[in-house]
Amino acid sequence: MTNVKMIDVTGAAAAPLDLWEPVTVTREQIAAEAGRLADLPRPANGRRETMFVHPRATAPGLGFAPGIRVTLSVLKPGERSEPIRHNSTQVNFCIRGGGHSVVAGKRFDFGQYDVWNTPSFAPYWHVNDGKDLQVRLTYSNAALLEKMNVHVVEENPKLVEAVEEDVAHRDDPRRKSPYGTFQLTEDGAWMMPYERLINPPAVESKALHWPWQQVKSHLDKLEALGKDYIGRRLYLLYNPMTGRTNGTTPNFFATMTIRPPKIVDRPHRHTSAAINYYFHGSGRSTVEKKVYEWRAGDLMLSAPGWGVHNHASYDDHVYELTVQDQPLNIAMESLLWQEDLKLPAAVLGAEVGFGTNRGKLGAAE
């Protein structure tokens, strides 16, 4: 019998937050690692990959931020990876070359700076049918699931069609509670039987593709808002299945941002962690009063959860992809967001959020 630890915390105060420091993987480091991977013999599964791991991360669940894994993947021309599936979800981002991916039987042809998602337990593989190296960044919640000891991975899964539900089995009265789901109190507490607990309403989770050239055409329109605009010039790459949690996957949002030259954001903070990949321009981020500079091609943990931060562009336009675990935090009712440090924080998704002055500047929603 295993002995359980008993830790007396009577009267103990909560420990202060110990924020992970921002870290940057430079474009030179990324290019060098992509080159090293390309020089390796092709592995049996076809996946040449490197995890970017924060120096404070501990196994299980190695991540670039707590709960967020970022992986660099390389395919040489003519190569493909072998099928795989897992219960983690992914945001995929091509930073060099192109090719196509097959996700849950759906093919996506992609190029540089395109984004697409991989739903949970959807079989997928990647193909480089171009002439250049294919280099991708993949953001996943595998680190979190490994921490929970529930990351399920299947190599070369059997590709089968979905099985239709047995209607007779579903309608068997012996498998249904006669009482159903019902309201218990006037305040709104309900009771739900086992049958509904193990068969919640299903929402189709599709693999979706956001081509960069189409995204950019809409993003560039936000530059016209001018310096008087107090919001951030970005679009969420929105997956409708995430509903009110505003995600690209149920765990992450991915946003594309344009920063005109010499734009400085207001300091703010949120409990979701932010990872930025800058692919045009240069600038700086101030995080917990310390300044970090970056330029095109850099990958950066730019905002540890609840760290005060803001960003500024230098003399050129900045384009960036930002991935945050905001949807997960909204679902957990843990997303504290303080848009103005002089005003109280809000629990986004449970309380009224924040507004900008975009309407006053005459920009259509």
Q: Residue 196: which H helix or E strand, with range?
A: helix 194-197
Which residue in this structure is represented by tokens 């850099």? 298
Distance CA 99, CA 341 (A): 44
293-340 per-position pLDDT tens digit: 999 999 999 999 999 999 999 999 999 999 999 999 999 999 999 999
DSSP E strand stretches across 29-177: 48-52, 69-75, 84-86, 90-96, 99-103, 106-110, 115-118, 124-127, 134-140, 153-155
Superfamily of domain 24-155: Jelly Rolls (2.60.120.10)
Predicted local distance difference test score (pLDDT) of residue 361: 60
The residue extents of the domains of the chain are 24-155, 209-339
Per-residue pLDDT for 234 more than 70? yes
CB 331 within 8 A of CB 325: no
Distance CA 286, CA 291 (A): 4
Distance CA 157, CA 153 (A): 9
348-363 per-position pLDDT tens digit: 888 776 666 556 665 5
Q: pTM here?
A: 0.92
DSSP 276-344: EEEEE-EEEEEETTEEEEEETT-EEEEE-TT--EEEEE-SS-EEEEEEE-HHHHHHTT--EEESSTTS-
- CATH number (2.160.10.10, 2.60.120.10, 1.10.10.10, 2.102.10.10) of 209-339 reads 2.60.120.10
Predicted local distance difference test score (pLDDT) of residue 175: 65
Mean pLDDT value across residues 105-120 = 97
Predicted local distance difference test score (pLDDT) of residue 251: 98
